[in-house]
Structure 1
Amino acid sequence: MTKIEVLGTGCAKCKRLFANVEQAVKDLGLPAKVVKVEDLDAIVESGVMMTPALFINGEIVAEGRVPDVNEIKSLLTE
């Protein structure tokens, strides 16, 4: 199962990224665990400098921007 983490403090961009991830997972029918990480200490500990950030299976794939649904689908199917 794919583990997807959306790191952000709850701002509008963070919420949009989480929604885009959920839509991409739904469209692909992918078995995935999607987690929202809002704890500032956990975000800093992960090495993220700008939010929102997107991790797939522990690897950072986007930081400081909101990839659209199609880009997220592409990242998930690589």
Structure 2
Amino acid sequence: MDIKILGPGCPKCKTLEKLTQQAITNAGIEAKVSKEEDIMKIMEYGVMTTPGLVINGKVVFSGRVPSEKELNEIINNHQ
């Protein structure tokens, strides 16, 4: 699984990155997590508000930090 956190490094982006790492660990999933901070590259995904989450090349949400439960469900549904 390839996961990208989209965002310029704001507090919400950092929170999403932390929650994503926790969700992967809790689910026992092997995933590569990377962070994209370049605004031009973020816009290539069609994301205009950050943070955003991309799983296997598909934007699954943007503009907010989901609850831990919602994030767990999103990650489990994209295995």
Could you say what secondary structure the match of 2:64 adopts?
A: coil
What RMSD over aligned residues (CA atoms) do the two structures have, in Å? 0.9
Could you say what secondary structure the match of 1:48 adopts?
A: coil
Q: Which residue of 1 aligns with 2:37?
A: 38
Give percent identity, aligned residues only. Answer: 45
Q: Could you tell me the TM-score, scaled by structure 2's length?
A: 0.91
Q: Which residue of 1 aligns with 2:56?
A: 57
Structure 2: which 5+ residue stretches go unaligned? none
Q: Which residue of 2 aligns with 1:15?
A: 14
Q: Could you tell me the TM-score, scaled by structure 1's length?
A: 0.92
Pairwise CA distance, 1:41? 1.4
Q: How many residues align?
A: 77
Runs of 4+ in 1 over 3 A off after TM superposition: none
Q: Which residue of 1 aligns with 2:66?
A: 67
Instruction: Give CA deviations for 1:10-43 in whole Å, capped at 9, x if unaligned.
Output: 0000000000000000111100011111111111
8 Å contact kept, 2:3–2:31: yes
